[in-house]
Structure 1
Amino acid sequence: MRVCYRMEYRLLEVLSFPKFNEEVAFKRLKSLRDVGLEVDERGATEVKLLGKGHSSVVFLSKHKEFGIVAVKVLRTDSKRDSLKQECKAMKQAQPIAPKIYSCGDEYVVMEFINGVNLEEYLKTLSACDELILLGLKILAVGKYLDDVGVDHHELSVLKDHVLIEASGRIRIVDFESSSLKPGRNLCRVFSGYFIRIPKVKLCCPSLSAEEGSTRELLKSYKGGNKEAYLELVKLILDKCLSSSCVCRG
């Protein structure tokens, strides 16, 4: 889901995005007011759009009980007919995923995570130990999702789905492609972070998904050997922190 650069939208525009449909917009407006959103009954409220995806849009709003929340609504041209499966996945992925406050076929009201996306956060890091330890934290999150049976499917592209809170806590967002089945999140995180991010690769020049020991560990993990995770962590530490370095860029 890409970030939007036009910040303020009239709520009715968003509720029937991309083409205004009065009937759909007011139906959704009523549903959201019924579950506690503090929005004008005419839909004149201005909202900040957080992102647009192929099947949905996300905006900021205010809830009577929970304060500032994020709201996802289906696009009117979406091929999906419900957001409830995504809600189930997010509930199962707690506390990594945003907390769900209310869910319907056409909307999700959830926790707003006030974090920094991975791409921006990486710009603040230069030392290899910082970069590698961050990667290991994200890798652990991937394993957690595997353990609870949620396959995110999109974690090979981490910049769109990883937020880092001020406390350093890792959160995962945008579960629209997810499924409730044993997944390969850890393998996708490994590839997306340690192989695809240039400044991380500078810290780990000998680490490759195709290198023998790495390939065997990933294959073993995919085959159900969860102990392979610990061996992979050891391998990363050995190959990436064997000497101190500072990565630029």
Structure 2
Amino acid sequence: MDSHFVRPGDMRALEVRRSVGRIGLARVASALAPAVAVRVGPLAYVSIDPPELPGPKWHHVTTRLAGICGSDLSMIEGHASTYFDDWVSFPFVPGHEVVGQLDDGTRVVLEPVLGHEARDAAPPFAGAAPGDGDDYGHLVTGPIEAGIQTGFCRSTGGGWSSRFVAHESQLHPIDDDLPDERAVLIEPLAGGIHAALQAARAPSVIASRRPVIAVLGAGTMGLAAVAGLVRYVPDAHVVVGARYPHQQ
């Protein structure tokens, strides 16, 4: 990683730009050593201006701690699917597993999906969560540029910088006794628990006395899914597919 995309500004950040050449280099280099992929890939340490607030329900958030997701690593190493290219806006600052602080001192965790409320779109039904519905055209509309979630949208910035912006629908205050190091796990844990809850509601699982449920992957989210299944489907026989030897 270097400063090959430096732009003037007063905030330091890690930024990804669309560069077919660098993405290709990262993909080749990652087969040799991930550290090499970081140096030659599309990620750069830059100086940029903090993002502006897109509207009245948006807040500046100061990053306290940000995680590194598997999707972030895939992107840095040149393995991210091009299927989502039209649903992101370059250049963008990664980082969607975030503990932040609002200007009034409130500590928050980020729900990264840039849903209907964030894009001034009508929700599919009352009480819908940001990712609910089956029409995702709103992901490229509204007061911000295209982006599935914070960390892949040019307008919002992301947690791999000192400051970014988020809609009030994305922000969840956390208790003072929850340390940042635990709070930063809320986003990936939520994904695993959500998958477990979906499985618990499946008709085939409900109809079986001892359902067999497979979890593909034994990383953070996979282990979170296993924990959720133990809690919400205690009679299930859980089979876990671990890709890497250290996970087995």
Query: Structure 1 or 2: larger helix share?
Result: 1
Greater RCO (Cα-Cα under 8 Å, separation 6 or more)? 2
Normalised to the residue count of structure 1, the TM-score between the two structures is 0.26
